[in-house]
Structure 1
Amino acid sequence: MTAPVPPPLAAELRRLQANSHAPYSGCRVSAAVEGGSGEIHYGVNVENAAYPQGACAETSAIGAAVTHGETSIRRVWVASSLPGFIWPCGGCRQRIWEFAAPGCEVVSVAADGAVESRAIEDLLPLGFRLPAPGRA
């Protein structure tokens, strides 16, 4: 399953990498999540000298989505300044899993525009959810 990345979204992911705060790793990451409403929410990584207190781009984007009232995620896009593909870390995979709508797709966008995607279930096999109000 590989969905094409809408060109405006890919351009925005590239543009937002400049806003990343990555003075320690030098790796600039941007992410976008499509909420259940269809709205797109963005985030970038924010590193911190008190490692590991920084925030991944996926975490920032999920936080923006939740702040806007989203309760589910349909799709996640992640891009970085590194060559090749980048995938969410384990903690972000669990964050995505907790909000994932059925069929939620995670799409990695390489710097050269190449795209790969995986279902969140493939990235986090046997993930877990605790029952939450309004969610089975």
Structure 2
Amino acid sequence: MMKHKFNSKLIQDEQIENLYNMAKSVAIPKVINEQMSSGGVGAAILTKQGNIYTGVCIDTDCSLGMCAERNALSTMITNGEYDVEMIIAVTKVGKVIPPCGACREFMWQLKNSRDIKVVLDNEETVVNLEDLMPFPY
């Protein structure tokens, strides 16, 4: 069966692939010092305006680091955008991982958050954020 370029599934697959590649490209582990490292996970966000923002996790010995998703979301907010279309997080070895509870709650506070598409795994399982938040704050 031939896929047409206006097929929404095909468009979503292309978006996921692009976001995956962007997230994986920044997931490059770096040791900052003996108490801090970054880049074990990379994240990419597609906004409703069509822009992509990336971020990496920052891990610290004292637990004051930041997940890659919240890092990317912070960059998006810094650039004056608040409306997320889709988000993905990828480990340094290319495994797609779902957002943690803190990242889910952070996204929930954003504009139109119920409809944020979240890529959960390498099989390109996508759910709306509201499906991951049965009892939000």
TM-score (norm 2): 0.74
d(CA) in 2 for partners of 1:37, 1:29: 25
Determine if contact 2:46/2:86 at 8 Å carries over to the other structure: yes
d(CA) in 2 for partners of 1:9, 1:66: 18
Please tell me whether residue 29 in structure 1 is matched to residue 41 in structure 2.
yes
Please tell me whether residue 54 in structure 1 is matched to residue 70 in structure 2.
no
Q: Which structure has more helix as a fraction of its residues?
A: 2
Match of 1:121 among 87, 106, 130: 130
d(CA) in 2 for partners of 1:13, 1:83: 9
Match of 1:78 among 89, 111, 135: 89
Q: Which residue of 2 aligns with 1:96?
A: 107
Query: CA distance change for structure 1 residues 10 and 106 in 2, over 3 Å: closer, same or farther?
Result: same
Query: 1:11: Cα distance to partner?
Result: 2.2
Query: 1:19: Cα distance to partner?
Result: 5.1
Query: 1:27: Cα distance to partner?
Result: 8.1
Q: Which structure has more strand as a fraction of its residues?
A: 2
d(CA) in 1 for partners of 2:31, 2:58: 5
Pick the structure with greater CA Rg.
Answer: 2
1:5-24 equivalences under 5 Å are 5-6=14-15, 7-18=17-28
Number of positions where the alignment pairs a residue of Structure 1 with one of Structure 2: 123
Q: In the alignment, residue 51 of structure 2 is paired with which amino acid?
A: E
For CA contacts below 8 A with separation 6 or more, give which structure has more relative contact order: 1
Q: State percent identity of aligned pairs.
A: 24
Query: 1:98: Cα distance to partner?
Result: 1.2
Cα RMSD for the two superposed structures: 2.9
Query: 1:86: Cα distance to partner?
Result: 1.3
d(CA) in 1 for partners of 2:94, 2:18: 21
Q: In the alignment, residue 115 of structure 1 is paired with which amino acid?
A: E
Determine if contact 1:21/1:45 at 8 Å carries over to the other structure: no
